[in-house]
Amino acid sequence: MTIALAVIGGTGLYQFPGLENIERRSVDTPFGPTSAPVVLGEFKNQRLAFLARHGEGHSVPPHRVNYRANVWALHSLGARRVIGVNAVGGIRDDMGPKVVVLPDQVIDYTHGRYTSFCDVDGAEVKHIDFSEPYSRALRSALRDAATKAEVAVVDNGCYGATQGPRLETIAEIARMRRDGCDLVGMTGMPEAALARELELEYACIALVANWAAGCGDQAEISLEEIFANLATATQAVPKLIAALLEG
């Protein structure tokens, strides 16, 4: 059965709820091992691939995720549409904790990561068009799925990708706000660019876990609150994916 969709799960999403007839696949890639085995199964009578970005026990920090291996593995198994689920902090006033966002832009503040499949000797150099970092068609399908599933989403926003694993300072977030960022996360790049290099349709479901530093009315960022908010927001993901697959 052809893979209808691949999902890369972020913090708080280490298994995909409702996946049946599961097969775990370790994929050899030219770029080393993936964060975890790819889990193949059936969801809503369609073939779905799931990969835990940080490993199934959250053992891989954001700056050490093997993004190239993860994206390559999904492509090699036949996935052509990929949804990245990302835990983020909210900067814009309408992007508080537990909000689900479908961002449409990215600013990359990361450094020292392998950002391209061209970073190997002899590889073809590809100058991809990254004007719109997320697939317009897949974002549109997610919007329709949200309406069908009655899941509230914010349909736009600029994702600022930072290095991690530490959270950001108030001054850094203030700069990001001036730059036009609405969300801050640590794993949005280079995943989106790598997917574009392989000509995959790629979109992001961003789950707001907390207000970013200096935003909202919180005195400090609590990890306990982050995981509690993620547990709530993550419940929207299988609903969105189900409606997406059902068309």
**Residue 246, CA distances (Å) to 23, 146, 204, 214 in order:** 22, 12, 19, 40
Question: Angle 236-246/136-149 helices, nearest 10 degrees?
Answer: 110
Answer yes or no: are the C-beta atoms of 47 and 3 closer than 8 Å.
yes
* 92 annotated as a binding-site residue: no
Q: Which residues contact 212 (CB under 8 A, 6 or more apart)?
A: 89, 90, 91, 168, 173, 176, 184
Residue 208 corresponds to which amino acid?
V
- CB-facing half-sphere around the CA of 31: CA atoms within 13 A: 22
Scanning the structure block, which residue is given the tokens 């490993």? 55
* 75 annotated as a binding-site residue: no
Helix extents (H) in 30-85: 67-76
Distance CA 199, CA 101 (A): 23
Helix extents (H) in the chain: 67-76, 136-149, 170-179, 191-197, 223-234, 236-246
Q: Which of 10, 27, 56, 193 is nearest to 117 (CA)?
A: 193
* 210 annotated as a binding-site residue: yes
* 53 annotated as a binding-site residue: yes
* 70 annotated as a binding-site residue: no
* 24 annotated as a binding-site residue: no
Answer yes or no: are the C-beta atoms of 79 and 27 closer than 8 Å.
no
Q: Which residue ranges are tagged as binding site?
A: 11, 53-54, 186-187, 210-212
Q: Which residues are annotated as a binding site for phosphate?
A: 11, 53-54, 187
**Sequence ranges of the binding site for substrate:** 186, 210-212
